[in-house]
């Protein structure tokens, strides 16, 4: 027999010690209830424990209320014929025992879903909606799931064409003797709507045309809530607006044409930010950034900043043009950078232009990027003067990223894939013009697989190759090195690459594979075990891949999980701690 009880609320710690009062009641259940039911019964006891008995009559009143609340809660969980008796508790654990026999749990025997309005004549769409119904035949009847299923079905109807759809009728017929329930739902879709002109509110600094550049819909298109949500996201991601609402109101429709209301609050045009961090890869790092959203009296966005850490110092400035109606955004930028890692130092400047196209479809998004750049790089390799080189390079890069995850910052399920290709040519101090051409390909995949509500598997892979006669003519940015946080843990940052003299420099081939299992012990804290294998080399398979094994701790934050890992490296036999923490202010 399962027992459920609740202790009294904590007393004032400043009060003198007193004999703990025995709780009014506890449950004894003939068989363990489902977890969700047990939690509700515990909640009933906690609510009752918050009140105190004044006299015997008041105690009887509390017991009657407790009995009624218990029966009400059980009914919401599908238990309509429970047995409940109250008797003094001989064990002394409480003053009374509520002996509870849950009885048979009511299950769904039949579901009938009907549609009225314009949707009634769309057989295929109606069948799709019926197939999406969440409370299936054979499942327990639960009031919470019944309410949620009705709401979600109505939202699915409203998501496309039928903005004014309403729940016309919803009935759950319960046969307590047979422990069965028949569900009936009727939704009146109303008419099919198309989208009309924009009604824009809140603009002060900017012209109406700025809103139109982000608009993915045209007047006369069918009503689609997902497209309006994409419109809102585009505006929200822009640097021009602090808050954005994109909505429709069927009450303001002209016939079946819905005007689209866009209400914005403009963001500050100038903003400075600072960040400090520490990482096992690069030590302490700092960054200062400045953003200006209204440049030279035009809606151009300047984003600039400086970044300093042990291995890299850089300054950048990028100017972003407003998005075009098709979802395309153009930008130009400049970069100054100095790096020094594992004996390889680079000093470079770069100028570039980029075009980005991004599209969101619910939890899935993808973007394309085309980048053209001109850069000058001076590279020195400690202990290998023959590797010192000066390169002037023109490069074109195409990158494609696809995301289908349940959360961008704390993903537990889904996939992220990045593919990119680069072609470059230029002038080098170690080769003539015709021998400096190169082609680069790169792929990365992260796969998140939930094994249970608390258990997660993360699989990660990277692969890349540069086709070139002499790797020295390729800027270090386009060559490969690995090791450290996010790659092969147990090895120093960028310590896996082509060995030249006493240094490690960029190589032509990369392969990294990783598997990580995480067990979330609480909502915030988790433990991980992982294995990484990978290398970067000009002759990748001349030796086995470097491997790292280890354990780690995880802590969930709004910006993503923080990780601290302890990894053992098979090549060096050493143990390294890998972590990365950043604070913005």
- Residue of 78, 412, 359 whose CA lies nearest to 234: 359
Say if residues 267 and 239 touch (Cβ distance below 8 Å). yes
Pairing verdict, β 96-101 and 25-29: parallel
Torsion over CA: 465, 471, 474, 476 (sign): positive
pLDDT reported for residue 584: 60
Measure the CA–CA gap between 564 and 448, rounded to whole angstroms.
19
The half-sphere exposure of 498 on its side-chain side, counting CA atoms within 13 A, is 20
Query: Strand, helix or coil at 153?
Result: helix
327 phi and psi angles, rounded to 5 deg: 90, 15
Paired with 16 in beta bridges are none
272 phi and psi angles, rounded to 5 deg: -115, 145
Measure the CA–CA gap between 246 and 239, rounded to whole angstroms.
17
Measure the CA–CA gap between 20 and 518, rounded to whole angstroms.
42
Torsion over CA: 45, 51, 56, 62 (sign): negative
Measure the CA–CA gap between 35 and 27, rounded to whole angstroms.
15
pLDDT reported for residue 2: 56
The DSSP code sequence of 389-445 is EEEEEEEEEEEEEEEEES-SSS--SEEEEEEEEEEEEEEETTB-GGG--EEEEEEEE
334 C-beta neighbours (distance < 10 Å), count: 14
Measure the CA–CA gap between 20 and 445, rounded to whole angstroms.
58
Torsion over CA: 423, 425, 430, 431 (sign): positive
Q: How far is CA 362 from CA 159, 227, 389, 403, in A?
A: 12, 10, 48, 11
The half-sphere exposure of 93 on its side-chain side, counting CA atoms within 13 A, is 13
Q: How far is CA 357 from CA 311, 328, 398, 535, in A?
A: 32, 5, 12, 33
Say if residues 509 and 464 touch (Cβ distance below 8 Å). yes
Measure the CA–CA gap between 528 and 553, rounded to whole angstroms.
6
Q: How far is CA 69 from CA 45, 65, 106, 173, 504, in A?
A: 10, 6, 19, 22, 71
38 phi and psi angles, rounded to 5 deg: -60, -40
pLDDT reported for residue 10: 38
Paired with 426 in beta bridges are 393
Question: How is residue 504 written in tokens?
Answer: 């490690």
- 53, 56, 60, 63: CA torsion to nearest 10: 40
Helices first, then strands: H and E counts in the chain: 6, 28
Which domains are present in the chain? Answer: 2-101 (3.10.20.310), 107-188 (3.10.20.310), 194-266 (3.10.20.310), 270-584 (2.40.160.50)
- Residue of 287, 309, 220, 225 whose CA lies nearest to 256: 220
Q: Which residues 6+ apart lie within 8 Å of 370 measured at CB?
A: 354, 355, 396, 397, 398
Alpha helices in 449-541 (DSSP H): none
Measure the CA–CA gap between 327 and 213, rounded to whole angstroms.
8
Say if residues 214 and 323 touch (Cβ distance below 8 Å). yes
Give this prediction's pTM. Answer: 0.74
Say if residues 348 and 375 touch (Cβ distance below 8 Å). yes
What is the residue-level pLDDT of the chain in tens, covering all 585 positions?
555 655 443 334 443 343 347 788 888 888 888 888 888 888 888 887 766 655 667 788 888 888 998 999 999 999 999 999 988 988 888 888 889 899 999 999 999 999 999 999 999 999 999 999 999 999 999 999 999 999 999 999 999 999 999 999 999 999 988 999 999 999 999 999 999 999 999 999 999 999 999 998 888 999 999 889 989 988 998 999 999 999 999 999 999 999 999 999 999 999 999 999 899 999 999 999 999 998 888 899 999 999 999 999 999 999 999 888 778 999 999 999 999 999 999 999 999 999 999 887 767 888 999 999 999 999 999 999 999 999 999 999 999 999 999 887 888 899 999 999 999 999 999 887 667 899 999 999 999 999 998 999 999 999 999 999 999 999 999 999 999 999 999 999 999 999 998 999 999 999 999 999 999 999 899 999 999 999 999 999 899 999 999 999 999 887 778 899 999 999 999 999 998 876 665
Paired with 243 in beta bridges are 265
Inter-axis angle of helices 56-76 and 143-158, nearest 10: 40
pLDDT reported for residue 330: 95
């Amino acid at each position: 027999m399962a027992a459920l009880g609740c202790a009294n609320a904590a007393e004032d710690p400043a009060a003198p010690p007193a004999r703990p009062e025995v709780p009014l009641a506890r449950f004894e259940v003939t068989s363990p209830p489902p977890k969700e039911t047990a939690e509700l019964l515990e909640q009933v006891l906690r609510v009752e424990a918050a009140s105190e008995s004044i006299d015997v009559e008041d105690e009887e009143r509390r017991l009657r209320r407790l009995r009624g609340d218990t029966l009400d809660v059980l009914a919401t969980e599908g238990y309509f014929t429970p047995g409940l008796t109250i008797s003094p508790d001989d064990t002394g654990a409480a003053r009374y025992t509520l002996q509870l026999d849950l009885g048979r749990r009511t299950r769904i025997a039949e579901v009938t879903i009907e549609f009225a309005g314009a949707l009634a004549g769309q057989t295929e769409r109606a069948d799709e909606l019926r197939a999406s119904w969440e409370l299936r035949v054979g499942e327990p009847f639960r009031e919470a799931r019944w309410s949620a299923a009705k709401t979600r079905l109505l939202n699915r109807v409203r998501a496309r064409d039928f903005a004014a759809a309403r729940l016309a009728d919803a009935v759950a017929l319960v046969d307590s003797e047979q422990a069965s329930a028949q569900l009936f739902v009727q939704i009146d879709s109303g008419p099919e709507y198309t989208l009309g002109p924009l009604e824009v509110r809140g603009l002060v600094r900017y012209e109406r045309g700025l809103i139109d550049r982000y608009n993915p819909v045209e007047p006369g298109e069918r009503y689609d809530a997902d497209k309006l949500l994409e419109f809102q996201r585009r505006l929200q991601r822009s640097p021009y607006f602090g808050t954005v609402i994109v909505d429709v109101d069927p009450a303001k429709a002209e016939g079946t044409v819905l005007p689209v209301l866009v209400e914005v609050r403009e963001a500050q045009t100038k903003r400075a930010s600072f960040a400090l961090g520490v990482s096992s890869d690069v030590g302490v790092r700092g960054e200062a950034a400045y953003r200006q959203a209204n440049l030279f009296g035009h809606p151009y966005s300047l984003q600039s900043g400086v970044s300093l850490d042990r291995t890299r110092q850089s300054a950048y400035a990028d100017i972003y043009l407003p998005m075009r109606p098709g979802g395309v955004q153009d930008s130009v930028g400049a970069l100054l950078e100095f790096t020094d890692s594992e004996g390889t130092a680079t000093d470079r400047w770069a100028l570039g232009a980029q075009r980005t196209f991004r599209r969101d479809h619910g939890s899935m998004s993808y973007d394309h990027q085309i980048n053209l750049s001109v850069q000058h790089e001076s590279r020195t390799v400690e202990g290998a003067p023959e590797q010192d080189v000066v390169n002037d390079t023109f490069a074109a890069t195409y990158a494609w990223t696809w995301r289908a995850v349940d959360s961008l910052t704390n993903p537990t399920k889904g996939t992220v894939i990045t593919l990119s290709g680069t072609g470059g040519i230029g002038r080098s101090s170690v080769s003539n013009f015709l021998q400096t051409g190169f082609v680069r390909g790169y792929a990365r995949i992260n796969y998140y697989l939930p094994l249970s509500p608390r258990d997660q598997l993360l699989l990660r892979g990277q692969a890349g190759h540069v086709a070139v006669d002499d790797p020295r003519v390729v800027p270090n940015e386009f060559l490969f090195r690995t090791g450290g946080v996010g790659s092969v843990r147990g090895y120093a940052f960028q310590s896996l690459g082509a060995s030249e003299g006493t240094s490690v420099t960029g190589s032509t081939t990369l392969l990294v594979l990783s598997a990580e299992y995480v067990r979330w012990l609480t909502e915030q804290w988790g433990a991980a075990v992982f294995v990484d294998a990978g290398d970067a080399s000009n002759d990748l398979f001349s030796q086995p891949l470097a491997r790292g094994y280890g354990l780690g701790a995880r802590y969930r934050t709004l910006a993503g999980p923080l990780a601290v890992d302890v990894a053992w490296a098979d090549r060096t036999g050493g143990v390294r701690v890998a972590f990365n923490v950043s604070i913005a202010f």
